[in-house]
Amino acid sequence: MADFIVNRNIKKRRGNYSSRNLFEARAFAYENGTTFTGIFNVSDEKRYSVSSSTTFSLTSSVVYMPLPNEPEHQTGFSMEQKVRVEFINDPIINMDSFENLSKGCTINYSVVDQEPTIKFTITEKLNNTVLTTRNNTVGGNYEIILTNEQILGLDINSQNSLIIEISTSDGGLVTSKTVTFTRTNNKPVVTVNLYNSDSAKFIVSDLDNNLSKIEWYLDNVLKETITTDLYLEKTISYELTDNAIHTLRIVATDAENIVEEKVISISKNIMPLQPNASLSDISTKLAEIGEGFKNGKTSIINTLALKNIDASLNNTLVELSEKIKTSFDSSDASVQDLMNQLTQANNTISQLNTRYKVASGITYQLNNPSLSANFYNGGYTTTQDHWINVSNLGFVPHIFIAECDFTKDGYLTKSLVFASYNVFSKDYVISSYFRRQTNSTFYSHGNIYNLNEKDVYVNGRGVQLPAFNNYDFAYKWQAIKFV
């Protein structure tokens, strides 16, 4: 049995860990006012598997104690570290299942986790190709943006996998979720750009680039089958022999035998009378106008029906006009009300934007002992192991503050980092922490640094500030710019 036993408590997610991940390289025991220091041989070999709450131990026979003339006197004692690992339940990944995808889209998902402040990494993959890697965020809502290029590059009718993996930097894979889908064919799209009584212009597009033919019909009679230059704009001509309403149908078919069509109604133009027209010509034209009027009225009634407006051939033009006006008035009132609300909201946003800009988020400490800082008002330079770095703010803040609460080894700790830029006569950074055990008062430690000297900055690149070690717990931050 070891002469000294040091107990520690930590939280870990599922994974394989090294002794360096679990144990301290130096541990301390206190007896009769003397501090005994144990030196432990830790390595990066992943020997410890965590899948439930458990206890690991590591023993050292190298234990020092201070003597008056020998600060590190080897005692011959032994020291044991006992680390109680509290297992963090695996995060739950919630994502709706989907069977088919034919083009780019956005997939929403969420991660429910009991310890969101203990960071993990989310990796999104399409068929084992990494799409995005990100850190977890408070709230746990995320989206995967799949582009047309990514989906259209898959074989039609192929089976594919969208994978979400959760892992930690020290323990590896924690959990994952896989959704399988079929890459389906895209329908062709027929767009009619212009049409009249004797011709029409149209173009057909297909995301899969696999058109096989285009056909067009007049009154259900096939007029032409096109198999070349399928993606170029086409102009087709036809002749209407009477003043009835005719049907023009354009049908596109792709290599998967998927059919899409566009149907439009057309009618022969009523041409004006010539100056020398006879009474017989006038009589014929009146009959032609009557038929055209009936066709036009039928077209109006059919269009109104699509807009849920009840009308029939028995309605006079005045009655049809009143029905249309009533619909427009109702629509205009709704639109005006919406516009008023939008105007009010825009005015409020404009007023806020003229006063200040705000950004917020979470970040994790940057471990880089090569970076340095100058102490406030003294010019003394020191190196710092731990930093906060936030980029892509879009503005240079006047005030930046970050805070973190965590409990480790029985101590409650609050870390605070505060920066003031162009607010007072001098710019500065305060980095501090407050710590206490249960039933005891806080003790604190902190430093003040010069801003925008050495590796400390608040500028167009973002924010980089020295901080104390918070053992990879998340910092919440706010950045404010006064306008």
pLDDT tens for residues 161-190? 999 999 999 999 999 999 999 999 999 999
Distance of alpha carbon 131 from the chain centroid? 12
By the 10 Å C-beta count (0-12 exposed, 13-18 middle, 19+ buried), 402 is classed as buried
Instruction: Give 252's pLDDT tier (boundaries 50, 70, 90).
Output: very high
Cβ within 8 Å of residue 448, ≥6 positions away: 375, 376, 377, 428, 429, 430, 431
Determine the residue type at 426.
Answer: K
SS3 323: helix
Q: What CATH number matches the domain at 92-183, 3.30.70.3420, 2.60.40.10, 3.90.79.10, 2.70.150.10?
A: 2.60.40.10
Radius of gyration of the chain (CA): 37
Can you tell me the distance from the alpha carbon of 93 to that of 140, in angstroms, rounded to the nearest whole number?
A: 9
- Domain residue ranges of the chain, discontinuous segments joined by +: 4-87, 92-183, 270-347, 357-482
SS3 464: strand
The per-residue pLDDT for 325 is: 66
Distance of alpha carbon 179 from the chain centroid? 18
pLDDT over threshold 90, residue 309? no
Instruction: Give 29's pLDDT tier (boundaries 50, 70, 90).
Output: very high
| Overall pTM surpassing 0.75 (yes/no) | no
What does DSSP assign to residue 52?
Answer: S
